Amino acid sequence: MTDPDPKLVSRDRLIQAAIEIFAENGFDATTTRMLADKARVNLSAIPYYFRSKEGLYQAAVEHIADVLGERLQPFVQRLADLSGKGLDRKTARSLIGEGLATMIAVMCGDPDTLPFSKIIFREQMAPTAAFDLIYPRIMERVLKAFATLIAAATGESDQRQCDLQAVLFVGQVMIFRAGRATAVRRLGMEGYTASEIAEIQDIIQSRAMAVLDFMAANKS
Amino acid sequence: MTDPDPKLVSRDRLIQAAIEIFAENGFDATTTRMLADKARVNLSAIPYYFRSKEGLYQAAVEHIADVLGERLQPFVQRLADLSGKGLDRKTARSLIGEGLATMIAVMCGDPDTLPFSKIIFREQMAPTAAFDLIYPRIMERVLKAFATLIAAATGESDQRQCDLQAVLFVGQVMIFRAGRATAVRRLGMEGYTASEIAEIQDIIQSRAMAVLDFMAANKS
DNA sequence: GTCTATAGTCGGATAGAC
DNA sequence: GTCTATCCGACTATAGAC
């Protein structure tokens, strides 16, 4: 994919390269030689800066958590502000739609963030120590935000119900990343072009609205 | 997990062991020694029976396709029979609910089939040649069946819409496998006990019905 | 068919010059 | 901080006895 910016110092070039390569091949199939080549750095720079291959992996995941956390911040902030003033149903619904569309773009479209989600997915399927770096800063914040929005959008007061639905709302999106091979093949897609992403965003949003209507009408 | 049945011949013990170990560690992190140990077979049995580690992996995937394909057969057959006679909405809806519940049980509960879904998920995230063994015999059949049922349950005549929704219905279930680490943590689960699975089945089914109602009311 | 022994390769990490 | 050279362990696969 993209080669690391040659202006960056070795340490940063290694992190850049690590994100790409680990995303593509996973931890085990990645060799330190691949990493050094991609970063245009000497092999010994890895143990020098990061102590080991695993140290580099963890630094890469930490970087992902930093970047995604920062991108998440405005959304969470906006939600906190609105919650203080009492969040009306219409606003909550539109924020849910907006959040879902953004997530699809991040996970399926944007070539800068796509490797992030690949790594996060691998961590979810087979968590390592790095999962603890990412869960509280990303997953938990997103899921809590969605639970709040769902409650506000439907009037559902059962917290458990909102938490479960939040997992399903977010999960809905993730399936196009985790089940990409199947989805693309079955739907005859080329692999998430702009118009294919629009189609996915569209159906996920309308589905979400259907569920919100149903929840509002059938509170537990 | 389970050790291979000692009554089986070496070849079969190796396949049994391979399914467990590849599911747990993925292809690269699995060594031929692990496989031979678990199967209680000499290391050389692997190249002898399967030519290579990769040959064993493919044989294991083929076995998975056989077993799941057989388990799928009655469901597909029943659907074909019913389709001939004209499938009414109520029956279609209950078959969808039943299918979803079964999938959750297979993917999250049943310790015999759980390793199958782990391997299938790894293949979806990073397909190898083995994906072609499993896609047409499992994924495609399931998705086509769901698309047919969705059409019958809602009266939606747009094929594309039904195919997309089928991916989402099935995807909904898969998220509890692919996103297990997050779901379990966020929902304070122990890791899919019987009652936790019942809770998941319940919410997924009610969500599915909400979407079907919505589709029936808003045909494209 | 099952075993031992070993070949041949490659990986991660280190030592030490510059 | 960056390089070369190299060690050492682990891996897959093969050769060949039984």
Residue B171 and residue A168: Cβ atoms within 8 Å? no
Asked whether the beta carbons of B208 and B100 are under 8 A apart, the reply is yes
Predicted pLDDT at A60: 98
Please tell me which of the candidates A135, A168, A183 has its beta carbon nearest to residue B167.
A183
The model's pTM:
0.96
How big, in percent rounded to 5, are the helix, strand and coil portions of chain A? 80, 0, 20
Q: How far is CA B156 from its chain centroid?
A: 26
User: On chain C, which bases lie within 7 A of the protein's CB atoms?
Assistant: 1-5, 10-16
Q: Of B183, B182, B181, whose CA–CA distance to B204 is shortest?
A: B183
What is the DSSP code (8-state) at residue B51? S
Neighbouring CB atoms inside 10 A of B171's CB total 21
Predicted pLDDT at A220: 82
Neighbouring CB atoms inside 10 A of A42's CB total 10
Cα–Cα distance, B147 to A151 (Å, whole number): 31
What is the token pair recorded at A130? 């790095």
3-state SS track over A84-144? HCCCCHHHHHHHHHHHHHHHHHHHHHCCCCHHHHHHHHHHHHCCCCCHHHHHHHHHHHHHH
Which domains are present in chain A? 1-51 (1.10.10.60), 65-217 (1.10.357.10)
Residue A211 and residue B213: Cβ atoms within 8 Å? no
Predicted pLDDT at A26: 97
Looking at residue B18, its amino acid is A
Cα–Cα distance, A179 to B122 (Å, whole number): 10
Contacts of A103 in chain B (CB under 8 A): none
Residue B181 and residue A143: Cβ atoms within 8 Å? no
Predicted pLDDT at A84: 86
pLDDT averaged per 10 residues, chain A (length 220):
84 98 97 98 98 98 98 95 92 97 94 96 95 98 98 97 98 95 98 97 97 95
Asked whether the beta carbons of A35 and A14 are under 8 A apart, the reply is yes
Asked whether the beta carbons of A210 and A186 are under 8 A apart, the reply is no
Distances, alpha carbon B63 to alpha carbons A125, B60, B105, B211, in Å: 22, 5, 20, 35
Please tell me which of the candidates B26, B165, B199 has its beta carbon nearest to residue A28.
B26
Predicted pLDDT at A3: 84
Distance of C1' in C2 from CA in B21, Å:
23
Radius of gyration from C-alpha coordinates of chain B: 19
Contacts of A143 in chain B (CB under 8 A): 182, 186
Query: A29: nearest CA in chain B?
Result: B28
Contacts of B187 in chain A (CB under 8 A): 163-164, 167
Residue B167 and residue A182: Cβ atoms within 8 Å? yes
Distance of C1' in D1 from CA in A58, Å:
22
Asked whether the beta carbons of B60 and B22 are under 8 A apart, the reply is yes
What is the token pair recorded at B149? 């049922």
Looking at residue B158, its amino acid is D
Note down pLDDT in tens along chain B; length 220 residues.
788 887 789 999 999 999 999 999 999 999 999 999 999 999 999 999 999 999 999 999 999 999 999 999 999 999 999 998 889 999 999 999 999 999 999 999 999 999 999 999 999 999 999 999 999 999 999 999 999 999 999 999 999 999 999 999 999 999 999 999 999 999 999 999 999 999 999 999 999 999 999 999 999 8
What is the DSSP code (8-state) at residue B52? S
Predicted pLDDT at B195: 97
B58 touches strand D (CB under 7 A): no
Asked whether the beta carbons of B21 and B34 are under 8 A apart, the reply is yes
Predicted pLDDT at B108: 94
Residue for token pair 């997103």:
A142
Gap from A6 CA to chain B (nearest CA, Å):
29
Q: For A133, list phi and psi in degrees, rounded to 5.
A: -75, -30
Query: Which residues have C-beta within 8 Å of that of residue B66, sequence separation ≥ 6?
Result: none
What is the DSSP code (8-state) at residue B218? S
Got the DSSP string for A28-47?
HH--HHHHHHHHT--TTHHH
Cβ contacts, strand C, under 7 angstroms? A 30-33, 43-44, 46-47, 51-54; B 9-11, 41-45, 48
What is the token pair recorded at B56? 């064993």
Distance of C1' in C14 from CA in A47, Å:
9
Helix (H) or strand (E) holding B157: none
Tell the burial category of A134 from Cβ atoms under 10 Å away from its Cβ (0-12, 13-18, 19+): buried
Asked whether the beta carbons of A116 and A19 are under 8 A apart, the reply is yes
What is the token pair recorded at A175? 């399936």
Query: Which residues have C-beta within 8 Å of that of residue B57, sequence separation ≥ 6?
Result: B18, B22, B27, B130
Cα–Cα distance, A67 to B182 (Å, whole number): 20
Predicted pLDDT at A144: 98
What is the token pair recorded at B130? 């083995």
Among A131, A143, A186, the strongest candidate for a mutation testing the B interface, having the largest count of B CBs within 10 A, is A186
Asked whether the beta carbons of A193 and A143 are under 8 A apart, the reply is no
Query: A144: nearest CA in chain B?
Result: B186
3-state SS track over A16-32? HHHHHHHHHHHHHHCCH
| Chain A 33-62 residues whose Cβ is under 7 Å from strand D | 41-45, 48
Predicted pLDDT at A2: 82
Asked whether the beta carbons of B154 and B212 are under 8 A apart, the reply is yes
